[in-house]
């Protein structure tokens, strides 16, 4: 029986059966065990954080006690008091500024500076009073508004390069189109706005509204007819008149650009030729641009007549760039607008969700207070903890186990201490870089905030680029900004990354030896399995697995491989 139980495959079977039975038991008792596990995790997280802090500070306390001769509790009190004073000074100096910049950034993203909209046009105009929050002497709109304006300006530049805008000749042609369609167009607008039809109903109107006609959509017309059926004949007849005038102008424009001649349209072609060659006064240009925007909106909504008219206003089907590119630009512009319009709602939803989790915020504050308390008492008790662990190790394995524990301790403590120093130095480099740019006249909004964040996220691969991109975007939308300004922001990011690359081998050295890929895998797996507690324990787990693998796994694998090679080699012949 003993030989059977000692068989390797029987041991594997027993272990697998035990794991399966435990999993089944946990699943069946989940209603009882899950609340207990969650409660244990809630308590264990601050204890684990406190233990990590104590683990990192214990060598400093040991050094102070050994070199100065203070009692351990005196050294611990002095170290914690000095750390508290340093943190409090940093909080007093930097945290208010960070909070101020964070609040200003959140306000600027969605709202901008408050102002009095005297003309109720939905935007700030020169002369309207406003609250100068950042005291720069000028009105600052929301970041969303500036990004919208910046994107629209650059989309217009792309459209001009691809000949997708409407030039002065096209605006002149549009003015003729507006004159030719003025009567049915204005009458339809008046009827849809609630006006009464003038005159008697047409004797032979169309049977319905053709969706291909210019003007309002068929759905809008039918809704108006449902409310007032007496408008049906008038609207249908006016729609046909507008469509006829629309087709006359489109055919005349094509004739103007070399299409087949039509004697009936000769006069209209000459009017269009004169309008295309003339210059518009500011008032006529403003009216034409407003109408053009309405036509572009109708084109984006799927109006075939609006698209037909836009093609002719832009130079016809043969214009460079093609109308497919115009349609693509319209889709991009619509997507940008819709996503930017939804940003305030998303921010409001995030804020509402945060306010609904006041209990979690309170728990976080309590944990923040408990962590230094746990750390202080664990620092005092660390010698007893080490002695207790040493006594639990069997004597036959004590030397090897203690050596491995010391290696794990050295790697973990070096990692945390080194990472803390690297984060602080990188944050200083980031803040100094953005302040230097501002000294040379390059405005980087919230530079201190972005510099601190760049330093804090250095342990996370590629996280710095996530911080840098918003900094570049905010810099580029500043008045007078150039591409060089955005490139210099990336230079600061590069300096932070170069500083980290130089400091890692100098500060961490070869004591940690945790490859970034292995560290990412450890963080993901530990966080997935144990949540926040797993993220805290990921580095010790990774270091322990690496050292155990080096001490036990790799030697056995090499031995097995060597035995396999010896087994396949032919026997040596006697000489």
pLDDT of residue 79: 82
Compute the distance between CA of residue 173 and CA of residue 168 in angstroms, rounded to an integer: 9
Compute the distance between CA of residue 154 and CA of residue 159 in angstroms, rounded to an integer: 9
pLDDT of residue 325: 46
- CB 98 within 8 Å of CB 449: yes
Cα of 503 vs its chain's centroid, Å: 29
Transcribe 105-161 into DSSP letters.
HHHHHHT-S-B--TT-SSS--TT--B--TT-SSS----HHHHHHHHHHHHHHHHHHH
Could you tell me which of 486, 487, 499, 491 has the C-alpha nearest to residue 427? 499
Compute the distance between CA of residue 181 and CA of residue 295 in angstroms, rounded to an integer: 14
Which two tokens mark 448? 């201190």
Compute the distance between CA of residue 47 and CA of residue 59 in angstroms, rounded to an integer: 19
Could you tell me which of 437, 423, 430, 418 has the C-alpha nearest to residue 494? 430
Compute the distance between CA of residue 502 and CA of residue 567 in angstroms, rounded to an integer: 48
pLDDT of residue 322: 44
Residues 182-205 as b/e (b if ≥16 CB within 10 A, e otherwise) read eebbebbeebbeeeebeeeeeeeb
CA distances from 221 to 96, 218, 225, 231 (A): 58, 5, 6, 9
- CB 176 within 8 Å of CB 272: yes
User: Can you list the alpha helix ranges (DSSP code H) found in 504-553?
Assistant: 516-530, 532-548
CA distances from 535 to 57, 520, 522, 563 (A): 20, 10, 8, 40
Cross-strand pairs, 115: 130
Helix or strand run (H / E) with residue 247: helix 232-256
CA distances from 4 to 9, 10, 324 (A): 9, 7, 77
Compute the distance between CA of residue 45 and CA of residue 36 in angstroms, rounded to an integer: 14
pLDDT of residue 467: 86
What are the 10-residue block averages of pLDDT along the chain, 575 residues in total?
68 82 77 77 80 79 81 83 75 64 60 69 71 71 61 52 65 88 88 84 84 85 88 88 90 83 85 85 84 83 83 65 48 53 53 54 73 85 83 78 78 75 89 88 81 83 81 79 85 89 70 67 77 68 79 78 58 53
Q: What are phi and psi of 152, to 5 degrees?
A: -65, -40
């Amino acid at each position: 029986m003993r030989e059977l139980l000692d068989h390797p495959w029987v041991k594997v079977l027993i272990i697998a059966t035990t794991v399966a039975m435990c999993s089944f038991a946990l699943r069946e008792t989940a209603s009882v065990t899950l609340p207990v596990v969650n409660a244990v995790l809630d308590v264990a997280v601050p204890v684990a954080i406190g233990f990590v802090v104590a683990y990192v500070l214990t060598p400093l306390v040991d050094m102070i006690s050994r070199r100065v001769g203070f009692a351990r509790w005196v050294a611990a009190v002095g170290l914690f008091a000095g750390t508290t004073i340093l943190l409090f000074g940093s909080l007093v100096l930097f945290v208010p500024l960070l909070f101020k910049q964070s609040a200003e950034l959140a306000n600027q993203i969605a709202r901008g500076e408050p102002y009095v909209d005297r003309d109720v046009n939905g935007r700030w105009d020169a002369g309207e009073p406003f609250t100068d929050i950042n005291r720069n002497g000028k009105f600052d709109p929301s970041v969303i508004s500036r990004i919208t304006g910046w994107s629209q300006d650059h989309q217009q530049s792309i459209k001009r390069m691809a000949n997708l805008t409407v030039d002065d000749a096209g605006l002149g042609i549009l003015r003729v189109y507006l004159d030719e369609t003025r009567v049915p167009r204005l009458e339809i607008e008046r009827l849809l706005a609630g006006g009464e039809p003038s005159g008697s109903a047409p004797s032979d109107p169309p049977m319905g509204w053709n969706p291909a006609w210019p003007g309002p959509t068929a759905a809008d017309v039918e809704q108006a007819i449902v409310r007032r059926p007496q408008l049906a004949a008038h609207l249908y007849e006016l729609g046909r008149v507008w469509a006829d005038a629309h087709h006359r102008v489109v055919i005349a424009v094509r004739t103007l650009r070399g299409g087949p001649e039509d004697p009936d349209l000769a006069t209209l072609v000459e009017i269009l030729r004169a309008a295309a060659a003339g210059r518009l006064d500011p008032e006529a240009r403003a009216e034409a641009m407003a109408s053009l925007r309405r036509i572009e909106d109708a084109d984006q909504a799927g109006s075939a007549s609006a698209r037909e008219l836009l093609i002719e206003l832009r130079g016809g089907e043969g214009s460079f760039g093609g109308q497919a590119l115009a349609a693509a630009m319209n889709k991009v512009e619509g997507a940008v607008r819709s996503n930017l319009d939804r940003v305030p709602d998303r921010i409001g939803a995030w804020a509402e969700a945060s306010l609904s989790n006041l209990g979690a915020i309170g728990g976080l504050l309590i944990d923040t207070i408990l962590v230094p308390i746990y750390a202080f008492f664990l620092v005092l008790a660390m010698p007893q903890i080490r002695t207790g662990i040493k006594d639990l190790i069997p004597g036959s394995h004590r030397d090897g186990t203690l050596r491995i524990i010391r290696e794990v301790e050295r790697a973990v403590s070096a990692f945390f201490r080194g990472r803390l120093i690297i984060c602080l130095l990188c944050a200083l480099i980031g803040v100094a870089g953005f302040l230097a740019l501002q000294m040379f006249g390059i405005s980087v909004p919230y530079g201190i905030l972005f510099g601190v964040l760049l330093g804090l996220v250095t342990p996370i691969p590629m996280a710095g680029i996530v911080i840098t991109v918003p900094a570049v975007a905010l810099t580029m939308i500043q008045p007078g900004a150039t591409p060089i300004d955005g490139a210099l922001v990336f230079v600061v990011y590069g300096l932070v990354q170069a500083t980290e690359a130089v400091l890692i081998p100098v500060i961490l050295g070869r004591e940690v030896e945790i490859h970034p890929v292995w560290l990412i895998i450890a963080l993901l797996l530990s966080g997935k399995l144990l949540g926040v507690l797993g993220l805290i324990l990921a580095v010790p787990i990774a270091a322990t697995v690496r050292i155990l693998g080096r001490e036990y796994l790799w030697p056995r694998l090499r031995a097995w491989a060597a035995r396999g090679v010896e087994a396949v080699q032919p026997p040596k012949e006697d000489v």
